[in-house]
Chain A
């Protein structure tokens, strides 16, 4: 087995790391303060190619693969999980377009996503819940020349930053009763709602979308009518979950670094607290969680890059483990900091808040376990 990254992945990692330090890190305090995503960063991410990591060259991307994506997302998330999450959701729409969109739709929207005209998003979750797809209430009724959309979406990442989100709505009943649409921002009846006020991932745009007799032309339908559920599930399980796993990996790496840095510099009883066994155990626990998460994330991405059918299960496993591990590790890192860890000027409190958001994003741990147990038992 070769655990060494190939050259291109290493270069992607360095570029993402340098970009995160140079372009993202200075923005974090402002994002924490205002809860708003810094829009100029979208173009900057486009220039360095982060927006087109899973998009083919002919649409302006680099298509460097899912392992490269995981590594890049982790580097960005190590500095700002909020930016990492926004980026990973952007990739979800790009991947969904590649899998389900018509040639005309790909030609129209993929280059715009790569250029950073806007951040992409996939809007599935509704006030009734995110995992119960069949329970969604948003409808798309066929009418002459297109569809009439009515309903609302909530907790949508990049809701206000997207120029043409992918919307899943009911066109019938049952699992074949959902369809996916691209709705242009500014379409009559399409109104963005409030920006959510979150405990973590401050600065990642999370909001509502409302549709009131919103007319979407027939050309907005992605794939065939009735394929919405398949499109949503495939995108969430093969792009969204590994994306959130990578974000959690970044949080783990940052937690590890912060715990090491503080335990070596903080002195108690005349010596660094790193000499105390109570601290050493925390550090060792974080270290094990970090390494296990790395291996799960990298392997899942490696499987996806090879088109292996077991990739989806591996990605769910990575997501379940990584997000829970990020919560454990960031909490332990916080405990290593003692009282300092609860102070806003220490990054570790942000890591813990961000990790908690990762657990529910892309499907809760419990949903992940249902998926995994089905894979194991069936």
Chain B
């Protein structure tokens, strides 16, 4: 099926049955300016140590060190592949507390060229929209870009909203849950994972893609890259630097309100029947009937 879609730079949409899972860039000799948006998240391999502060209802992150959101590493890998094959530069951006520098150093060590830390007390408490607004201001300030890459979702929030919101704010097409990407002649062809197959979307640059886990195999930061990254400068931008007002960002700029956070708990109650096998079976059937577990028919439980 091929469909044309007007607006926001989409050229075509096609749905195919089998989901491909490899990156395959058809080359054209034009360089691409990529921006990768990353987020520091608590190390997912240590999520078992995450605790919720019962008073503030915020995550106690002290015992779990932050890392680059795993899917953002797929985004970095995809951007570096574009740079390697077609030329261009890769800028990496994060909205985070000052400690977010560490994830930017790692992104530089992986091969990104420039790093930007968006940090300001005013950014605290941002929901996805306020985050996207802040990132959009940074992308606009960076000047001309061809491709913005994000992880499809973050390991901590898992909303998958920031990428599409960022594209909407910038007025560019977005292709989400991308498993395979082809760049050719100034166009992006993206194979996007859908529930029942793969949607193949084509858009002219500039565009935004969010990467799925199986889009590529993220590389490791080589030791020589770490050494080089230490000598690189990280640009820090505040709310004022981005030309935003405090009411547009952080908690003040967030329409979402968190009413409650709780750890879901599954509790079970056990009953022990005693007697002969026949007696226990009878007791069990009575209890199951009592709970309407075995009742069938209209309106009943099965």
Contact = CB atoms under 8 A, between A and B. Distances in A.
A62 B223 contact: yes
B102 A7 contact: yes
A10 interface: yes
A12 interface: yes
B77 to A, nearest CB: 13
Interface in B79-122: 101-102, 105-106, 109
A19 B227 contact: no
Nearest to A56: B227
B106 A64 contact: no
Contact of A7 (B67, B105, B225): B105
A64 B222 contact: no
A43 to B, nearest CB: 13
Contacts of A19: 220
Contacts of A49: 222-226
B255 interface: no
B223 A52 contact: yes
Contact of A12 (B67, B101, B223): B223
Contacts of B225: 49
A160 to B, nearest CB: 26
Interface string A47-60: 11110110001001
A11 interface: yes
B226 A62 contact: yes
Contacts of B229: 8, 11
Contacts of B222: 15, 47-49, 62
Contact of A10 (B102, B220, B224): B102
Interface in A72-118: none
Contacts of B224: 49, 52, 57, 60-62
A22 B230 CA distance: 26
B220 A8 contact: no
A11 B227 contact: no
B106 A12 contact: no
Interface string A195-218: 000000000000000000000000
Contacts of A8: 105, 226-227, 229-230
Secondary structure at the B interface, as helix, strand, loop or mixed, is helix
A14 B106 contact: yes
B220 A15 contact: yes
Contacts of A64: 223, 226-227
A10 B227 CA distance: 13
Interface residues of A, number: 23
Contacts of B226: 8, 11-12, 15, 49, 62, 64
B197 interface: no
Interface residues of B, number: 17
B223 A53 contact: yes
B227 A7 contact: no
Contacts of B223: 12, 15, 48-50, 52-53, 61-62, 64, 68
A22 B221 CA distance: 14
Interface in A23-71: 47-50, 52-53, 57, 60-64, 68
A52 B65 CA distance: 27
Contacts of A15: 220-223, 226
A48 B105 CA distance: 16
B227 A14 contact: no
A224 interface: no
Interface string B211-251: 00000000011111111011000000000000000000000
A35 to B, nearest CB: 28
Contacts of A47: 222
A18 interface: yes
Nearest to A69: B223
B91 to A, nearest CB: 19
B112 to A, nearest CB: 13
Contacts of A53: 223
Nearest to B99: A7
Interface in A312-341: none
Nearest to A23: B220
B220 A7 contact: no
Interface string B40-77: 00000000000000000000000001010000000000
A67 B109 CA distance: 19
Nearest to B102: A7
Contacts of B221: 11, 14-15
B159 to A, nearest CB: 25
A258 to B, nearest CB: 16
Contacts of A48: 220, 222-223
27 contacts: A7-B102, A8-B227, A8-B229, A11-B106, A11-B109, A11-B221, A12-B223, A12-B226, A14-B67, A14-B221, A15-B220, A15-B221, A15-B223, A15-B226, A18-B220, A19-B220, A48-B222, A48-B223, A49-B222, A49-B224, A49-B226, A50-B223, A57-B224, A62-B224, A62-B226, A62-B227, A64-B227
Interface of A: 7-8, 10-12, 14-15, 18-19, 22, 47-50, 52-53, 57, 60-64, 68
Given A11-B229, A64-B223, 20 more contacts: A7-B102, A8-B227, A8-B229, A11-B105, A11-B221, A12-B226, A15-B220, A15-B221, A15-B222, A15-B226, A18-B220, A19-B220, A22-B220, A48-B223, A49-B223, A49-B225, A52-B224, A62-B226, A63-B227, A64-B226
